[in-house]
Amino acid sequence: MKQLYPSREAYKEGKLQVSDLHTIHFEESGNPQGKLIVVLHGGPGGGCPPFYRQYFHPEKWRLIMFDQRGCGKSKPHAELRENTTWDLVNDIEKLREHLNIDKWVVFGGSWGSTLALAYSQTHPERCKGLILRGIFMLRKKELTWFYQEGANSIFPDAWEEYLKPIPQSERGDMLTAYYQRLTSPDLKIRLETSRAWSIWEASTSKLFLDKQLMQTFGESQFAEAFARIECHYFVNKGFLETEDQLLKNVDKIRNIPSVIIQGRYDIVCPMISAWELHQAWREAELIIVPDGGHSMSEPGIMSALIDATDRFTEL
């Protein structure tokens, strides 16, 4: 089993104005002369915590991490305007150009895998490799499973808490009901629903309940950006042209060295999505973690990710 690398501080932090409204926060860590890799965090709205650095060999990688629009240290906080998948794809390119980078490896999990697919299919010439985890392609069946019906059969106790802010009469469309409250002018309503939405995801992300993760996801600052931005993307179907766009456009990335890492017992992003992506994209290596859920910090998934980042230094 691979272990996390020792914690190290970033050697550079900066801000990049990507529109009149949005400024994103980015950082660089590892070896300034190392191989280049960019991390696309989950959510959307999750931000990049410092422990992500520990998945990358500090002497071999020059690691770029950034907080996507509206979350983490990026400003304005929890902002939904000018916040779409394609705005983020453009931001990745602006950051690459700002840092004078020609090509890089792209690392993304959960929503980060969605964004990595969208980015690489738009700019395949800029991608040396793809390391993807917990595949999520923003299709209706994926959203219905986790936010309407499906996952509740496995976590009925956590589901009960997720239902609480929504009246019985509105539970036939949970995404819309949540969106109305997450965009309410009433801060109390926004925070109540933000916490319920975020804690639902934290409750289901690991094979064994992690109360510390639930507490972190329930913190007001994190929860509002996470829940508002996620729901904004999901009610807008990810701003994709068709729901199977990312699956249909695999030909554009077929020859990029890629690995897909998937926990067999992932409830948030069930394995069927990784399986269907691999069926369309046999050139990508598929690694199924037999004792893994959704979280990148579970031992088997963590080990598989570190093994992949170690191997990709040889590209």
pLDDT tens per residue, range 235-282: 999 999 999 999 999 999 999 999 999 999 999 999 999 999 999 999
Indicate the burial class of 6 (C-beta count within 10 angstroms; 0-12, 13-18, 19 or more): exposed
User: Residue 279: inside a domain, yes or no?
Assistant: yes
User: Residue 289: inside a domain, yes or no?
Assistant: yes
Query: Please, are residues 57 and 84 in contact by the beta-carbon 8 Å criterion?
Result: no
Q: Which domain holds residue 175?
A: 141-238
How far, in Å, CA of 178 to CA of 163, rounded?
A: 10
Q: Which residues carry out catalysis?
A: 110, 266, 294
User: Residue 7: inside a domain, yes or no?
Assistant: no
Torsions phi, psi of 62, nearest 5?
A: -100, 105
Query: pLDDT digit string (tens) for 62-121?
Result: 999 999 999 999 999 999 999 999 999 999 999 999 999 999 999 999 999 999 999 999
Give the end of a domain, one of 199, 217, 238. Answer: 238
How far, in Å, CA of 77 to CA of 22, rounded?
A: 9
How far, in Å, CA of 261 to CA of 286, rounded?
A: 6
User: Residue 97: inside a domain, yes or no?
Assistant: yes
User: Residue 302: inside a domain, yes or no?
Assistant: yes
Closest CA to 310 of 114, 105, 135: 105
Verify that 291 and 243 share a domain, yes or no.
Answer: yes
User: Residue 81: inside a domain, yes or no?
Assistant: yes
Verify that 177 and 263 share a domain, yes or no.
Answer: no
User: Residue 1: inside a domain, yes or no?
Assistant: no
Give the end of a domain, one of 188, 218, 238. Answer: 238
Q: Residue range 123-135: average pLDDT?
A: 98
Q: Which residues contact 257 (CB under 8 A, 6 or more apart)?
A: 128, 129, 130, 312, 315
Verify that 132 and 152 share a domain, yes or no.
Answer: no
Verify that 69 and 162 share a domain, yes or no.
Answer: no
User: Residue 163: inside a domain, yes or no?
Assistant: yes
* pTM of full prediction above 0.75: yes
Verify that 127 and 158 share a domain, yes or no.
Answer: no
